[in-house]
Each structure stands twice: as C-alpha cells, then as structure tokens.
Amino acid sequence: MIDTALKKRFESYLSGLNFDKEPANLYEPIKYTLGNAGKRIRPLLVLWSAKTFGVEIEQALPAAASIEIFHNFTLLHDDIMDNAPLRRGKPTVYKKWGENIAILSGDTMLVWAYKMLEDYDGTVYKKLNSLLSKTAIEVCEGQQMDMDFETRDNVSIKEYIEMIRLKTAVLLGAALQFGGIIANADEQDLENISDFGIKLGLAFQIQDDYLDTFGDKDTFGKRIGGDILDRKKTFLYLTALQEASPSDKTGLQTLFHSGNIPDEQLIAQTIDFYKKYNVDKIAQNQMETFTREALQSLDKTTLSADKKTFWQDFAKNLMLRKS
Amino acid sequence: MIDTALKKRFESYLSGLNFDKEPANLYEPIKYTLGNAGKRIRPLLVLWSAKTFGVEIEQALPAAASIEIFHNFTLLHDDIMDNAPLRRGKPTVYKKWGENIAILSGDTMLVWAYKMLEDYDGTVYKKLNSLLSKTAIEVCEGQQMDMDFETRDNVSIKEYIEMIRLKTAVLLGAALQFGGIIANADEQDLENISDFGIKLGLAFQIQDDYLDTFGDKDTFGKRIGGDILDRKKTFLYLTALQEASPSDKTGLQTLFHSGNIPDEQLIAQTIDFYKKYNVDKIAQNQMETFTREALQSLDKTTLSADKKTFWQDFAKNLMLRKS
C-alpha cells in the first residue's frame, strides 16, 4: 500500500527542514519526534491527493509536512496527558526531557504546522490555514471528550463515534482536502474527498479496537487484549454494554472495574461477554458500513475512473490490515 | 494611560466571542482565562496602532483579540511549567482543572489566536499570520531560555536581554505591527514601530526587575524582594555578578544558594551587594537607554507629529509606573 519512493521523498523533504536551532532543549525534542518515523500515512494522503487532483507532489510537500508536524504535536502532548513512557518503541519526549520541555516543544511544533503553509499564497494559503485551525480545534475537542470518557460510566456509541471522528478521523479528511486545495479542486470535490477520509478514519479506528481484541496474535504485533487490560472504553466495550441484558451489563461493568483479577482471566471473560452479544460481528458490520459510505463519497467526486480506482484500492488495502 | 472607553470596547468584543461550546471541560478554562482581565495592554497596542496608522479601531478588533488570546495561551502554559498557584489573584487553570486540561485548553487557545485572523484577507491575512507564527516561535524560544537559565550559573547580561526580548518584548512589537499591517503601513514603518515596541518592552522588563527590589512598598502592590526570595536570575542579580569583585561574586552566589536564611536577612544582604556595585543605577541607565532607543525608532516612522506625541506620552507614562 505504501509508496516507498514517495515516502522516501517526503522523509528527505522533512529532514531538510532546519531544526538545528537554539535553544537546543527546545529543538532537540522536535528533531527527535519528527525523526521517529511512523507510517507517514497523513502526509502521504496529502501527496496522493494533490497528485490525483492534478498537481505535482513537489508543490504539496510543505502542506504534507504541515499535517505531519501537526499530527506529531498532538502525539507529543497526548503522551504527557496519558503518562505514556514509549512511542513507536522509543521513550516519549515527556519521559526523556520532562514535562515542561514536552509542553513547550509541542507548542512550537503546532506553530510550525502553520508556518509550513507560508509556501502558499492567496486563497490557497487562507483555505489551508483555516482548515488547519478548524481541524486542530476539532482534534482538541476529541481529545477532551476522550479524557472525559475515562471518568464517565454512561458513554453512548454515538458519543464514541463522535469522539473518534474528532480525535482521529477529521485529520485524515483534512489531509485529503489539503491536496485538493493546492490543486484548486472545487468545493464539492473537497467536501466529498474529505468525507471519504473521515469515514475511512472511522472504519480504521473501529478496526483498531477490533484487532486489539480479535486480531491474530501472530500478525497483530502487540499483545492481544491490551485495551481490555487498560479498561479502555472501546467500541467493543460500549457495544457490549448497549446490547447486554441488565444482569450481563452489570456483570461486564463489575468485571471492568475489578482490580485483582489475573490478566488472562479478565481478557477471556470479557471476550465471552463480547461473543455472547455478537460484538465482533457488530464491529465488523460497522467497519463495513463506514467503508461503504467512504467509497460512496469517493464516487461522488469528479476524479477520473483510474484515480477513483487508486483510492478504492487504498481503502481496501487499509481495511485488510492485520496490525 | 489606559483609554477606558477603548478597553471597554475591547472587553465587549472579546466577551462576544462564543466560547459556550462543548466539551465544557475544554472551553470553561478558556472563558475563565479570558475573563480574568489584566491591563489588556497588548490588544490596546494593536488598536492604538491601527488608529495612529489611519484605520478605524473596529477593523482591528479581531487582530487585537488574536494577540490577547495568544498572550493568555502563553500564561496558561507557563503557569503549568512554573507550578504557579495563582494568576491575577485567582487560581490558575492548572490548579483549578489539573494539568491535562490546562495543556489542552492552552493548545486550543493558540489555535484560536490564528482563527481570529480569518477576518482578514489577502496579503494582510498572510502578513498577520506569518508575524503571529514568527512571534510565537520567538516567545517559545524565550521561555525555553528562561527555563534553561534556572540551572545555569553563567548567564550573561547579553543572554538575559536576549531572553526577555524573545519572551516578552517581541510580542509588544508584534502588537504594534498588527495595527500597522491592517492599515497597510509600509515595511519601513512596520519595522520602526515594531522596534519601538520591542525596546519599550525591554525597558519595561528591566523596570519590572528594578521595582521588585527597589520599588516603594506602599505603591508596588506585591512584596518587595520577591525575586530575591525566589532566587530569580534578574537583570539586577546578573549585573551584580558581573560587576562584583571575585570575593563578592562568590559571596553573592553563596547567599543566593543558601537555604536556611531568614527572608528579611536574605533580602537586606542581597540589596547591600546590589548597592555596593550601583546595580540600581545601572538598571536605571539601561531602562533609560532602551527607552531612548525606542523613541528614536518611533521618530523614524512617517507618523504625523501629533501621533508621535501620543506614543511618546505612552512611553513616558509606562516608564513612570510604580507597580
């Protein structure tokens, strides 16, 4: 799925940005964060989108970097909020440099996400900036909802979907719009390609929840059942609560709040509840529904048939992942 | 000095911005922060600058709000880094809502500082955005330098001036430029009015250090000697270290690091060192030098004589303050 040559081009562009600046305590964490590459899925979405809407990817590199720097800013601050020790196998900035530096270098990255857009002009510049602000606010709202959910016992599926839409999905939609904006795509195309990204993001996030519990331990890469052990209010857990009989609902909630139960037992008993109420099937259905809606939005764009095929393949590959 | 009617107009504009949004845990801290009004000096600089460069203040209100929201974002995050319990007599967001919410609502405010600029278009929009980014990065750099200084024993006066330039002064310069940009002032005027603000900011910050130790306790409003008790590396302390004989330098450093000395004794002995080396006079001279340089930059602008008089009076009143 990942275009290796394009990813390499992006890496080379990103590492060409000059963060060898003073004070070192501010810029070292930024270089460290940006150098710890993930799949770079968001910047690749910007570049592919620019290409399918008809401009050279070189023109879209600053916007792709903006999205990636923004995304890494959110990870940096989220890691403080979650007390996360590791990110992609390496110590988080918060663990390595302390919280104050993590706050401040994160702030600086957010500003750099805007600064990258200065390569553009006129209405393209304004559209990119406004979309970045709109999206950034939504991502912050999603993160706050996620934090609020931790102490709430009555989270609905609808609220959960809204949370993952804001926290994760809108940024994928914005990445796709970024490419379209640079190519001067019309408003209707921007809206449809954005919706394609958002719906795919929702499907992806529910798949994340699904694989964490029902994935194949040989291909998943992480321990199966991690979300259960972390007592995360996932799509699976919330669906089970919604579907269960009153006594099973109480049983699952009691299990969820129990402190001294062995890990394997907690996982097995939770999965029993999930299976009893077909939570795995419901999650798969929901993923399929969102993927279908994504493809419907894609179909509404004015992109040519071969461009649509490219994105259809992308969506299918994304949903076939095992990890 | 403060134009009460104009401040009122700004307050009414600011409170008209709709932050009654969900999730409440994200937006309540923003309303709380923006409602806890200080002198509103930075937005007033934007409005006065717009006026002296020839546009109606109504046009400059969104830019004034942008600067004020940005400034309050920095306070919100700084309060976490400084573990500050109080801000303008009220509990800080960090104390009231906890650190995670303080990080996230601060992030959201930074985005809103950009969002406010969407009221403008074309080159004005791009100039305002670029200047906000440039200034924001400088403010972060200044804050990092300030944090670095805490654990360094060899901070030079030059480094200290650079730190306060970045952390405090450039934002005053940016506020003045904001007004000029909206009025389509030419580049030379923007540079000169910015330098007027920066130099005045430097004078103001050194005056802050001066008043904290040599101010009149009846008019100062805070406890005299607070910086000494906090072991802050102020302009006074760093100047004393620079001027003192080797033995007095060691004596002052030992005093500065001593843990169990009564407050009044620590303050009195530090002031003895300061007076022995004329630190109070040196600080006053430095304030006067920066103020003079500020007025020279003002004079280079193409503003009319009465507009220049307005800013000269502003500068004089600022430097006559007792608190």
> Looking at the complex, does the CB of residue A83 fall below 8 Å from at least one CB of chain B?
no
- Please give the Cα distance from B85 to B91 (Å, whole number): 6
Q: What mean pLDDT is reported for chain B?
A: 96
pLDDT recorded at residue B260: 87
Q: Fill in the DSSP letter of residue A82.
A: T
Q: Where are the alpha helices (DSSP H) in A151-276?
A: 157-164, 170-182, 187-214, 217-220, 226-229, 235-243, 246-257, 263-276
B73/B156 same-domain check: yes
- How many structural domains are present in chain B? 2
Instruction: Output Rg (C-alpha) for chain A, integer angstroms.
Output: 20
- Please give the Cα distance from B144 to B138 (Å, whole number): 10
In a domain? residue A151 = no
CB A47 within 8 A of CB A112: no
Q: What's the gap in Å between the CA of B58 and the closest CA on chain A?
A: 22
B200/B213 same-domain check: yes
Of the candidates A149, A280, A269, the one whose C-alpha atom is nearest the C-alpha of residue A210 is A280
Assign 3-state DSSP to chain A and report helix, strand, coil percentages, each to 5.
80, 0, 20
CB A214 within 8 A of CB A322: no
CB B63 within 8 A of CB B43: no
CB pairs under 8 A, 24+ apart, for B271-276? B271/B213, B271/B225, B271/B228, B273/B240, B273/B244, B273/B248, B274/B213, B274/B236, B274/B240, B276/B244, B276/B248
A191/A79 same-domain check: no
Instruction: Answer whether residue B259 shows pLDDT above 90.
Output: no
CB A10 within 8 A of CB A47: yes
* Secondary structure (3-state) at B108: helix
B9/B121 same-domain check: yes
B216 contact partners, CB below 8 Å, separation of at least 6: B322
Phi-psi region of B202 (alpha: psi -120 to 50; beta: other; left: phi over 0): alpha
B229/B160 same-domain check: no
Please give the share of chain B, as a percent, with pLDDT higher than 90.
91
Q: What's the gap in Å between the CA of A197 and the closest CA on chain B?
A: 22
> Looking at the complex, does the CB of residue A17 fall below 8 Å from at least one CB of chain B?
no
Q: Which of B184, B201, B228 is the last residue of a domain?
A: B184
DSSP letters of B116-168?
Answer: GGGGS-HHHHHHHHHHHHHHHHHHHHHHHHHHHHHT-S---HHHHHHHHIIII
Phi and psi at B276, nearest 5°, equal -55, -35
Q: What is the mean pLDDT of residues B65-86?
A: 96
pLDDT recorded at residue B67: 98
CB A125 within 8 A of CB B122: no
> Looking at the complex, does the CB of residue A101 fall below 8 Å from at least one CB of chain B?
yes
B115–A133 C-beta distance less than 8 A: yes
B142/B271 same-domain check: no
Q: Which of B143, B160, B184 is the last residue of a domain?
A: B184
In a domain? residue A167 = no
B82/B213 same-domain check: no
| Token duo for residue B30 | 């923003």
A190/A313 same-domain check: yes
Of the candidates B76, B20, B14, the one whose C-alpha atom is nearest the C-alpha of residue B40 is B14
Sign (positive or negative) of CA dihedral A28, A33, A36, A41: negative
Q: What's the gap in Å between the CA of A103 and the closest CA on chain B?
A: 7
* Secondary structure (3-state) at B87: strand
B147–A101 C-beta distance less than 8 A: yes
Bridge partners, B91 (sequence order): B86
Q: pLDDT tens for residues A124-175? A: 999 999 999 999 999 999 999 999 999 998 999 999 999 999 999 999 999 9
Q: What is the mean pLDDT of residues A222-245?
A: 94
Q: Which residue, among A124, A140, A147, would best test binding to B if mutated, counting the most B CBs under 10 Å from its CB?
A: A140
pLDDT band for position A1 (cuts 50, 70, 90): low
Phi and psi at A19, nearest 5°, equal -105, 20
Closest residue, chain B, to A21 (C-alpha):
B141
In this prediction the ipTM stands at 0.96
B21 contact partners, CB below 8 Å, separation of at least 6: A141, B27
Q: pLDDT tens for residues A106-135? A: 999 999 999 999 999 999 999 999 999 999
B84/B207 same-domain check: no
Q: pLDDT tens for residues A246-281? A: 999 999 999 999 888 999 999 999 999 999 999 999
A204/A83 same-domain check: no
Assign 3-state DSSP to chain B and report helix, strand, coil percentages, each to 5.
80, 0, 20
- Please give the Cα distance from B288 to A280 (Å, whole number): 73
- Please give the Cα distance from A234 to A221 (Å, whole number): 19
pLDDT band for position B127 (cuts 50, 70, 90): very high
Q: Please identify which residue in the block is written with the tokens 């000395």.
A: B261
Q: What's the gap in Å between the CA of A221 and the closest CA on chain B?
A: 30
Q: pLDDT tens for residues B177-192? A: 999 999 999 999 999 9
Of the candidates A15, A102, A109, the one whose C-alpha atom is nearest the C-alpha of residue A69 is A109
Within 10 angstroms of residue A197's Cβ, the number of other Cβ atoms is: 27
Closest residue, chain B, to A121 (C-alpha):
B126
> Looking at the complex, does the CB of residue B26 fall below 8 Å from at least one CB of chain A?
yes
> Looking at the complex, does the CB of residue B316 fall below 8 Å from at least one CB of chain A?
no
| Token duo for residue A26 | 């501010």
CB pairs under 8 A, 24+ apart, for A151-155? A153/A253, A155/A233, A155/A238
B141–A26 C-beta distance less than 8 A: yes
pLDDT recorded at residue A121: 97
pLDDT recorded at residue B1: 58
Which residues on chain A are in Cβ contact (under 8 Å) with B126?
Answer: 118, 121, 125-126
Q: pLDDT tens for residues B37-56? A: 889 999 999 999 999 999 99
In a domain? residue A179 = no
> Looking at the complex, does the CB of residue B114 fall below 8 Å from at least one CB of chain A?
yes
A112/A198 same-domain check: no
Of the candidates A174, A184, A195, the one whose C-alpha atom is nearest the C-alpha of residue A59 is A184
Closest residue, chain B, to A149 (C-alpha):
B23
CATH of residue A254's domain is: 1.10.600.10
B122–A114 C-beta distance less than 8 A: no
Q: Which of A77, A112, A137 is the last residue of a domain?
A: A137
B133–A115 C-beta distance less than 8 A: yes
> Looking at the complex, does the CB of residue B141 fall below 8 Å from at least one CB of chain A?
yes
B85/B110 same-domain check: yes
Domain range for A116 is 1-137
Instruction: Answer whether residue B244 shows pLDDT above 90.
Output: yes
In a domain? residue A143 = no
In a domain? residue A57 = yes
- Please give the Cα distance from B67 to B53 (Å, whole number): 18
- Please give the Cα distance from A86 to A90 (Å, whole number): 5
| Token duo for residue B96 | 């009231």
Q: pLDDT tens for residues B143-168? A: 999 999 999 989 999 999 999 999 99
B111–A136 C-beta distance less than 8 A: yes
In angstroms, what CA-CA distances link A36 with A42, A108, A196? 15, 17, 28
- Please give the Cα distance from B240 to B263 (Å, whole number): 20
Closest residue, chain A, to B98 (C-alpha):
A81
> Residue B8, exposed/middle/buried by CB under 10 A (0-12, 13-18, 19+)?
exposed
Peptide bond into B23 cis (omega under 30): yes
pLDDT recorded at residue A222: 79
pLDDT recorded at residue A78: 97
Q: Which of B68-82, B109-123, B211-225 has the lowest mean pLDDT?
A: B211-225
DSSP letters of A135-157?
Answer: HHHHHHHHHHHHHHHHT-S---H
Q: Considering CB atoms only, which of A80, A115, A141 is closest to B103?
A: A80
> Looking at the complex, does the CB of residue A84 fall below 8 Å from at least one CB of chain B?
no
Closest residue, chain A, to B144 (C-alpha):
A26
